[in-house]
Amino acid sequence: MQLQSFVAGKWVSGEGDGVALRDATTGMVVANATADGLDTGAMLTHAREVGGPNLRRLTFHERAALIKALAKHLGEHKDELYQLSYATGATKGDSWIDIDGGISTLFVYASKGTRELPNSRVYVDGGLEALSKTGTFVGQHICVSLEGAAVHINAFNFPVWGMLEKLAPTLLAGVPAIVKPATQTSYLTERTFRIMVESGILPAGAIQLICGSVGDLFEHLTCQDVVSFTGSAATASKLRQHPVVMANSVRFTSETDSLNSSILGPDAGAGTPELDLFVREVAREMSVKAGQKCTAIRKAIVPAARIDDVTAALRAALGKIVVGDPRLENVRMGPVASLSQRREVLEQIGRLKREAEVLMGEGGKPALVGADADRGAFVSPTLLYCRDPSRATAIHSVEAFGPVCTLMPYATLEDAIALARRGGGSLVGSVFSADDAVAARLVLGLAPFHGRIVVVNRYCAKESTGHGSPLPHLVHGGPGRAGGGEEMGGIRGVMHYMQRTAVQGTPDVITAVTGRWVRGARELDPGSHPFRKPFGALAIGDTFNSAEREVTVADIERFAVLSGDTFYAHMDETQAARNPLFGGRVAHGYFLVSAAAGLFVDPPYGPVLANYGLDSLRFLKPVKPGDRIKVRLTCKEKSLRPSQGYGEVRWDTAITNQHGEAVANYDVLTMVSEKAVPDA
């Protein structure tokens, strides 16, 4: 079977036979792949002229809905993906991480897009900046979709998750993608891609696929395009320095293989849960995906006094790992992805052995269950020990991308930190300690050189995702050798595919650009109380100005009885006079919020279904008995939830006193029905 690429809406075969892709266990040919002859310039044109406009017509919420539908659809077809995944050398557990993990990432981004992004096409970044004395000239950062294409170049070890974790934030940002998986496992990516295309969920031009080399794709990149790369540091450096990338300042974010460390705290003695958890995690990271993880533990850094305990425990744990055909239920570790990958791992082990002794394994030919060591790309779990890691170099620079880890001792926390930092930048580090002070010292020491740090102890172990699991909510990336880029990271990941622009002008201009009312912009007369208007009839800027209410001593004292808040500043004139901020009794801040609600709420049954919260509440000036307050309520932002029959409306709320001075500012959040309510 020859794999095809998906080009400008059509499945296309490359020229020639291409590369034979083999089952990592049996050596049998699974497929052939080539992208020779593809018109990559046409792919970029299609993405920019068809995919981009189709995606940008949709709001963030509409894109999130597509991503959710895509996740559900893939979930219905994952069984066939599991079967094909065995050919990559993955066990069922490995495939769960890759396939279900990728689908889960889509679900997370769909949820975040709906909850954390507006139902619009413009993202407002940060608050309004006052640029003039009277407020007629202001500034606001906004983010809009780039009008190019995202080129995703993925690694071989996660052919499904690697694609989906990049696609989710890209599509949510409104940018079409061209996916280029690593060739050796691209048959699994291609099948997943076909399922997505056949679903018809995504608009035309949103996604394209290259199975094979990128050819001259980079020659056609512009400043509106983005390259997101996962793989080796050497390849990342080469691509980053491509003349077109440099000349056009093409955005380039990379996540590259790094030397990741796990540190056992000095408090974790023999028999402690932390030592047991540490050993279990190191063994797991060596065996999951046969150690072919960019986040795998390569350096296990242990207090010198605990080396013997950890060595014995790791020997026992690794000795229980059954290696063989990943299709068998009792097999815990399959082969690496290919024979060429095995050769590379064994070569790197040879370099590490110059500075470290082998405690267990030798790479070579392990004892296998249901598999042939000559046909399959198997590598033994290999544990090394470096007695003097501070003087070594290879263990801090050479990565054997397989089931390989090096134990190394440390004397002090500073030594442990220094050893971890010798990797020159890592994707992840982990700490196993029940001493919070130790954990804090290690985290702060590791942070400048790591993109993510996970601390595990007996209290969180059951719910911890462990050392090697990147999560869509958090940044996946790291400095230096780790690539200097970011993937995922929640909404941060979406922003990689958007342009941040500073807009300066009047408040009315900012309101028109963002679709969000800002203070100083025009206040519209709604013609009736805005709470009488259904969601669709409300206009941004619709404003209600209340009557005044005098605040009295009786109000303050009744609120104190009702709430139980008898703080001296509200109840004792003498003591309150001593407070330099108040100089006498003042009203409760929460009384003011409650009184304001009484001033602006329209009591009869109407389209407003519920008040579900307040945001950004600030008390700006004390209110004393005898002061008079009033409220200005303005429709600030709207977000329709069509499947729920209502929309969410954010109201900019300002309480002022009789002098027109601001007393409190906040946003009121309401749910408003789509349907009008007839008058009773």
Residue 421, phi-psi category: left (phi > 0), alpha (psi -120 to 50), beta (remainder): alpha
Q: Please identify which residue in the block is written with the tokens 């990592």.
A: 24
The 8 Å CB, 24+ separation contacts for 308-313 are: 309/269, 309/270, 309/275, 310/264, 310/275, 310/278, 310/279, 310/407, 311/359, 311/385, 311/407, 313/275, 313/276, 313/279
Instruction: Choose the catalytic residue: 190, 255, 399, 648.
Output: 255
Distant-in-sequence, close-in-space partners of 309: CB < 8 Å, separation ≥ 6: 269, 270, 275
The DSSP bridge partners found for residue 12 are 5
Q: How many residues does the chain have?
A: 680
The DSSP bridge partners found for residue 503 are 140
Q: How far apart are CA 396 and CA 314, in angstroms?
A: 21
Q: How far apart are CA 189 and CA 182, in angstroms?
A: 9
User: Is there a catalytic annotation at residue 255?
Assistant: yes
Q: Are 143 and 123 in contact (CB under 8 A)?
A: yes
Distant-in-sequence, close-in-space partners of 349: CB < 8 Å, separation ≥ 6: 362, 363, 382, 384, 400, 404
Q: How far apart are CA 674 and CA 534, in angstroms?
A: 5
- Going 641 to 642 to 644 to 646, the CA torsion angle's sign is positive
Q: Please identify which residue in the block is written with the tokens 């005098």.
A: 550
Other C-beta atoms closer than 10 Å to the C-beta of 350 total 12
List the one residue out of 568, 548, 290 whose CA is nearest residue 405.
Answer: 290
Q: How far apart are CA 593 and CA 655, in angstroms?
A: 8
Q: Are 231 and 182 in contact (CB under 8 A)?
A: yes
List the one residue out of 213, 209, 208 whose CA is nearest residue 35.
Answer: 213
List the one residue out of 33, 41, 31, 34 whose CA is nearest residue 7.
Answer: 41
User: Is there a catalytic annotation at residue 637?
Assistant: no
Distant-in-sequence, close-in-space partners of 5: CB < 8 Å, separation ≥ 6: 11, 12, 13, 14, 35, 38, 208, 209, 210, 211, 212
Residue 450 is encoded by which pair of tokens?
A: 């790591």
Instruction: Choose the catalytic residue: 211, 294, 386, 635.
Output: 294
Q: How far apart are CA 101 and CA 103, in angstroms?
A: 6
565-566-569-575 Cα dihedral, nearest 10 degrees? -160
Residues serving a catalytic function are: 255, 294
